[in-house]
């Protein structure tokens, strides 16, 4: 119970995922780290520059987010649709950014499928139009 007898509600799986996309990048990152399970599996799609599966927050940050932050300028993942089904949440949207080495811009559609357990992300699988990303490289 919260203050004055009000119940403290636990965020829904959908609210947990929304909080990793809809604020400033730094806030989104903090929110993501707070909800990643210690053994979370994060799979980047074949054809994407960071393809493969990263396990645990340290690998996920180093293998994906640090690289996005240093290799791209103005990189964004803007979600336009969320779908929730029990422990699964899907986010659909558009990536955009400029690859620093080439100066080429890209936009590419994506879908992220999250699986959660007890309020923690246990896995994420990325689906992306990797051809559009490869053209920027």
How many residues comprise the chain? 137
CATH 3.30.70.980: does it fit domain 3-136?
Answer: no
Average of pLDDT values for 41-65? 96
In degrees, rounded to 5, the angle at the alpha carbon of residue 77 between the alpha carbons of residues 72 and 78 is 140
What pLDDT digit, counting tens, does each position of 92-116 carry?
Answer: 999 999 999 999 999 999 999 999 9
Output the pTM of the full model. Answer: 0.90
Average of pLDDT values for 16-39? 93
Q: In what order do the strands lie in the sheet with 120-128?
A: 52-55, 36-44, 120-128, 104-117, 88-99, 72-85
Residues with Cβ within 8 Å of 134's Cβ and at least 6 positions away in sequence, in order, are: 47, 49
State the virtual CA torsion across 14, 16, 18, 23 in degrees, nearest 10. Answer: 160
In degrees, rounded to 5, the angle at the alpha carbon of residue 77 between the alpha carbons of residues 73 and 78 is 125
Give the model's pLDDT for residue 3: 53
Residues with Cβ within 8 Å of 67's Cβ and at least 6 positions away in sequence, in order, are: 49, 50
Average of pLDDT values for 12-31? 93
SS3 72: strand
Place of tokens 């103005």: 74
Q: Where are the domains of the chain?
A: 3-136
**pLDDT over 80 (residue 1):** no
d(CA 95, CA 62): 19
């Amino acid at each position: 119970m919260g203050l004055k007898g009000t119940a403290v509600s636990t965020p829904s799986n959908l609210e947990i995922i929304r909080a990793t996309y809809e604020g400033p990048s730094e806030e989104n990152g903090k929110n993501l780290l707070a909800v990643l399970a210690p053994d979370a599996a994060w799979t980047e799609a074949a054809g994407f520059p960071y393809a493969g599966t990263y396990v645990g927050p340290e690998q996920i940050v180093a293998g994906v987010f640090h690289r996005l932050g240093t290799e791209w300028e103005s990189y964004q993942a803007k979600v336009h649709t969320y779908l929730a089904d029990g422990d699964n949440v899907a986010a659909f949207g558009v990536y955009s950014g400029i690859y620093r080495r080439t100066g080429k811009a890209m936009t590419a559609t994506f879908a992220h499928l999250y699986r959660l357990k007890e309020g923690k992300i246990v896995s994420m699988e990325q689906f992306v139009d990797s051809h559009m990303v490869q053209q920027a490289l």
